[in-house]
Structure 1
């Protein structure tokens, strides 16, 4: 009874209430759409690769989709500089290095597409990329 009294007092027509309810329901539409897209992205995150580049040249690709494998890879250049790279549980990091600043070691684990680890003294870059490709553009070094 109070709803009818409220409608009469506010001079609303019954169809106005239907429009208001419809607009409230439509306000949740972006949440549904973006939630669906995030679910699609999460499904594709299982297919990630880590690419090791030194001086812009691709040296090695690590498959991060196998989360049960744990291993290390040691990159050594001709000057004796090294980076010890560890892959574990779908993540990758630089575990040890002989560069002076150790910023690449302090960066820690990375696992999401677009993240990177950079060791400037050794000119080493590790990027996470999707193995399925995409429309993200081309990386230029």
Structure 2
């Protein structure tokens, strides 16, 4: 009896609680969808793409437990970038450019991270 009296005296109606509950569940739906999406993307193979002047030169697989190795990119002018790949991360270890911004960038390992060397028109991006 008290519940009926509460709904009769207030602005709340019996269906208001159900509607609010459904809206709360729908507000949590993006959280569930994006967490499932991230888990499926992490299962895919991660790669780093080396592009020079917009043209893809090389792809490097980034996998946990992989041995460390280096790759040297040298352009026709004799300029070079020494790229180091170690497990799931990559960096420019050494470069012949004056500003050394690409070397100071350090290791990258997250999807979407980039290393840019403007003097050599080189971009490394993790995809």
TM-score (norm 2): 0.78
Look up the match of 1:83: 81
Equivalent-residue separation in structure 1 for 2:98 and 2:60 (angstroms): 26
TM-score with structure 1 setting the length? 0.71
The one-character-per-residue Cα deviations of 1:24-69 (angstroms, maximum 9, x if unpaired) are: 223222222222222222222xx12222233444332211135422
Closer, same or farther in 2 for the Cα pair 1:24/1:87, shift >3 Å?
same
CA, structure 1 residues 51+17, in 2 after alignment: closer, same or farther (shift >3 Å)? closer
1:83 Cα deviation (Å)? 1.3
Unaligned runs of 5+ in 2: none
Task: Report the count of equivalent residues.
Answer: 127
Indicate the residue corresponding to 2:93 in structure 1. Answer: 95
Say if 2:9 is the partner of 1:9: yes
The Cα RMSD (Å) is 2.5
The aligned residue for residue 33 of structure 1 is: 33
Structure 1 segments unaligned to the other structure (5+ residues): 130-141
Deviation per CA, 1:93-140, whole angstroms, max 9, x where unpaired?
1011121000111122122333322212222222223xxxxxxxxxxx
